[in-house]
């Protein structure tokens, strides 16, 4: 993201796992946590402002480790990092934030510019949050959001195509077997049933073929008896 107006991008999946990237890698962990909390409190588009300090991150980690019963040695290391002059810098961030939510409901996927409610959370596939530096031209924000939207829609189209192909791969062999079974019921025993799969559909095809051969053999014996 260097030399970009995009300050951060966060992708949150349905299971709660997140991918986060920012222009300031040294404070990404702290920024990720603060952005995540802020997004929950501000479900609609807004402006995110904060002061990020590595020293604060180390102090918070030290306090958390102390509360969880961590070793004194580990706590001391974190406190030394917090006191290190190199970590005293403060980064002020000011971002315009836009969220895009991709949901699947009743077999259809939709893209929304708002964060899903708790009642609708089970339908969410993933949420993308983009923070653009406040003060950048609105065109930059629109371009970024258009790109994210385009990628999301492209992913939906690819997923729909793959789902259609997968469904067709299952439905087509079943339709073929239905036609063969219908022909057998009409007395046509000349069409062999090909078992080209090693799954339940293949087992069904083999069963139909055994039935066809058995009926054909029985009909042949009956014809010979009539001639004799």
pLDDT single digits (tens) 77-117? 888 888 888 878 887 878 888 777 888 877 777 777 766 66
What is the predicted pLDDT for the residue at 96?
Answer: 80
Q: What is the pLDDT of residues 128-153, one digit of tens each?
A: 888 877 765 555 556 666 666 677 67
| Class of the CATH-defined domain 137-228 | mainly alpha
Helix axes 138-185, 200-227, angle to 10 degrees: 20
**Domain spans in the chain, listed from the N-terminal domain onward:** 6-53+90-136, 137-228
Mean pLDDT of 2-6: 58
Tokens representing 138 are: 């609105």
Determine the 3-state secondary structure of 214 from DSSP: helix
How is residue 117 written in tokens? Answer: 């409610």
Which residues, listed in sequence order, are joined to residue 171 by a DSSP beta bridge?
Answer: none
Of the two residues 68 and 185, the one the predictor is more confident about is: 68
Percentage of the chain modeled with pLDDT above 90: 0
pLDDT attached to residue 194? 75
Note the pLDDT tens digit of each residue in 159-210. Answer: 777 777 766 666 677 777 777 777 776 777 777 777 776 777 777 777 777 7
- pLDDT, residue 79, reads 87
Percentage with pLDDT > 70 across the chain:
79
pLDDT of 5 over the 60 cut: yes
Task: Tell me what pLDDT residue 183 has.
Answer: 74
Residue 49, beta-bridge partner list = 94
**Alpha-carbon 24 to chain mean position:** 26
Supply the pLDDT for residue 169. Answer: 67
What pLDDT was estimated at residue 216?
76
pLDDT at 212: 76
Q: Which of 95, 97, 96, 99 is nearest to 11 (CA)?
A: 99
Supply the pLDDT for residue 145: 64
pLDDT value for 84? 87
Q: According to the model, what pLDDT value does residue 135 have?
A: 65
Q: How does DSSP classify residue 118?
A: G
- Residues with Cβ within 8 Å of 24's Cβ and at least 6 positions away in sequence, in order, are 31, 52, 91, 93
């Amino acid at each position: 993201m260097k030399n970009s107006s995009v300050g951060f991008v966060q992708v949150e999946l349905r299971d709660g796992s997140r991918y986060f990237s920012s222009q300031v890698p040294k404070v990404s962990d702290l920024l990720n946590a603060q952005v995540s909390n802020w997004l929950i409190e501000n479900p609609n588009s807004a402006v995110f402002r904060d002061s990020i300090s590595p020293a604060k991150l180390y102090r918070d980690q030290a306090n958390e480790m102390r509360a969880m019963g961590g070793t004194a040695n580990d706590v001391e290391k974190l406190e030394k990092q917090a006191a290190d002059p190199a970590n005293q810098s403060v980064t002020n961030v000011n971002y315009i934030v836009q969220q895009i939510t991709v949901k699947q409901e009743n077999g259809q996927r939709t893209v929304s510019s708002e964060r899903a409610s708790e009642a609708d959370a089970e339908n969410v596939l993933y949420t993308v949050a983009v923070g653009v530096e406040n003060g950048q031209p609105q065109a930059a924000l629109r371009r970024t959001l258009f790109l994210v939207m385009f990628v999301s829609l492209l992913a939906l189209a690819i997923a729909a195509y793959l789902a259609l192909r997968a469904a067709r791969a299952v439905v087509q062999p079943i339709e073929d077997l239905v036609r063969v079974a219908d022909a057998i019921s009409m007395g046509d025993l000349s069409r062999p049933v090909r078992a080209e799969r090693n799954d339940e559909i293949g087992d069904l095809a083999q069963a139909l073929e055994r039935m066809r051969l058995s009926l054909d053999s029985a009909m042949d014996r009956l014809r010979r008896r009539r001639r004799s």
